[in-house]
Every structure is written in structure tokens, then in C-alpha cells.
Amino acid sequence: MAKRKIIEIDREKCNGCGLCTTACAEGALVLDGEKKAMLVKEIFCDGMGACLDVCPVGALKIVERDSQGYDPRAAHDHVLKTRGAEAAQRVHGAGPSIPAPFLHTGCPGSMARDIQRGAPAKDGAVTGSVASALGQWPIQLHLISPLAPYFDGCDLLIAADCTAFALGSFHQDLLRGKKLVIACPKLDDTQGYVEKIAELLKNHTVYSLTVAIMEVPCCSGLLRIVQEAAKLSGTPLPVKKVVIGIEGALRN
């Protein structure tokens, strides 16, 4: 066994609401005979924490400890038996060998949906280009240097990859006047992300720290990465959360 991120349940806090059991697409959580949440098997938990945001009493958290690795095939088979084929299609990381509709694979955040918009503007209604507010390069967390001088004395925005596409006014409402780092907590190899962000915060004067995420459950993993990094850095910097709806609205 190796150390990895996995769910931990505080049984004293758990009120037996069961919301976490339905939020977990991998079927890793159930209520036991005492109406308390419990982990079915370690191999069913992907460590992404989609269940955290639905818990009304804060009984769940992601910890790093020695554990069996997440097994998407086993999780898929488990959900297939307990919830059926449609639910099994939502299992994170199950892979292309598992039959699924073309429009819906992976976690609930991958569910295909059509977003209805108003009629597009007539040709010629928009004149000129909209200026970019991007102030540095690179921006992907894997590529940035935590020692880059442009981070000194900045307001920092750490945004999930999809946010700039969902929010039409991303540059104007979120990015203007800030330095940018982007990442995806689901698709990136996030190993070392906490330490890299912490190093950036320790080596520079950062005036403010904003995290922009999508409303889908798996995206909250980016917020937890940044919160852990801020704590590790030792800097008393509050983390401001901005949530963007799939249809493009700022949630807060």
C-alpha cells in the first residue's frame, strides 16, 4: 500500500442524512446499521471528494494515508451491481473499455447537457476586439515557476480550466489586474500541486488569493488544493472562492 488521498468520516458528527452516499458516483459510501456513513471499500474511493460539499455537518474530509489504490474497474462493477448500468456510466476513470453512451462518461460533472442561449447578435452588432487581461505566461500550474518574479506583489487568481470558457466576462470580472494560474483537479496529475503553490506563496508577497471553480462536484478539489497550500505556506492569506455555473453565471 502507498499513501494517497482518501475519505475520512467523523462518526460523531455524521447525522445520517445519506447525502454523501448519493453524491459519490463510485458507491464508496453507505449508511451502516447505526445510520452513520461508512466506507464500503478503500478501492472504491477515488479521493476526489465529490461528497464533501453535500455534507451539512462537516463530517467528511479528505486525508492522505496508507491505503489500497483506487480501482475504477472494481468501482464500476460495484455500482453496476448495486445501482445499475446508468449509474455505472458515471464512475470516475472507468476507462474506454467499459461501454457507455458517447455523451456521458465519468463523474456527474461530465454529464452532457444543452445550454439554451438567446438569439446571437446580428452580424456587425459587435465592433472591435475585446482586450485580454492576461498579464503573464505560462499559466498552467505544471508549467509555471513558483519563483517567477511577476508573482511578487500580485493579486493571484487560481482558476479551473473550464471557468474561462463558461464565464463570458472572465477577463473583465475575474482576471483583470491579477496574475493567473490554471489547473484541473480531475484530469491533471495533481501530485506536487500543493507544494508548488505553497512555494509560490512563501517566495512572494501575494496581496489576495482567489480560486475560481465550476459548480460541478469534482472541481471543488482545486479549492482544497489551494487551501492546503495556503496552510502549508504559513502565510495568513484568506482564500476567496468564486463558483461559476455551467450556464455561465457567477454563483457568488
Three-class secondary structure of residue 73 per DSSP: helix
pLDDT digits over 120-129, tens only? Answer: 555 555 556 7
CATH of domain 2-108: 3.30.70.20
pLDDT of residue 123: 55
What pLDDT digit, counting tens, does each position of 135-166 carry?
A: 999 999 999 999 999 999 999 999 999 999 99
Long-range contact pairs involving 14-22 (C-beta distance under 8 Å, separation at least 24): 14/57, 14/59, 15/56, 15/57, 15/59, 17/55, 17/56, 19/51, 19/54, 19/55, 19/56, 20/51, 20/54, 20/55, 20/60
What is the average pLDDT score of the chain? 85
Highest mean pLDDT among 163-177, 183-197, 213-227: 163-177
Return d(Cα 227, Cα 12) in angstroms, integer.
25
**DSSP line for 104-158:** --SSGGG---PPP-PPPPPTTSS-SPPPP---SS--BTTT--TT-GGGTTEEEEE
- Give CA–CA dist 188/152, Å, rounded: 26
Q: Chain centroid to CA 216: how far?
A: 8
pTM over 0.85: no
Looking at residue 117, what is its pLDDT?
Answer: 53
Q: Decide: helix, strand or coil at residue 79.
A: helix
Average pLDDT of the segment spanning 93-109:
48
pLDDT in tens, 207-235: 999 999 998 877 888 998 999 999 999 98
Q: Around Cβ 168, how many Cβ atoms within 10 Å?
A: 11
Helix (H) or strand (E) holding 68: none
Beta bridge partners, 63, equal: 6
